[in-house]
Amino acid sequence: MNANCPHLEDIRTVTPSALGCEECLKIGSRWLHLRLCRTCGHVGCCDDSPHRHATQHFHATRHPLIEGYDPPEGWVWCYVDEVFFDLPPELTTPQRGPIPRYY
């Protein structure tokens, strides 16, 4: 789709790992928005959330692509190249169930 980001070719169809941020659910924390890893399906919270689990997931795994997911917002962000891309509806990940919301 874009020559600026070689990772987009590796975008995968994933099943979200949890209804909300995996780590926040475990520790009973809250989040603002959710990000879905398009390499492994990890659900983490955004950088405006207290724990920034999506970014932590990237640093731990180097999985580059996250999708705005709460509900699906139709974009992906590449951490490595720091670029946004629009996702066509057929490439967005459907919500797995009601997502807990706090704000």
> Which parts of this chain interact with Zn ion (CB under 5 A)?
5, 7, 21, 23-24, 31, 37, 39-40, 42, 45, 51, 53, 61, 63, 78, 80-81
- Whichever of 31 and 69 has its CB closer to Zn ion, that residue is 31
- Whichever of 27 and 98 has its CB closer to Zn ion, that residue is 27
- Cβ atoms of 34 and 66 closer than 8 Å: no
> Minimum distance from CB of 94 to Zn ion (Å)?
18
> Minimum distance from CB of 90 to Zn ion (Å)?
21
- Cβ atoms of 16 and 43 closer than 8 Å: yes
- Give the CA distances from residue 83 to residues 20, 25, 65, 103, in Å, rounded to whole numbers and listed in that order: 24, 28, 10, 27
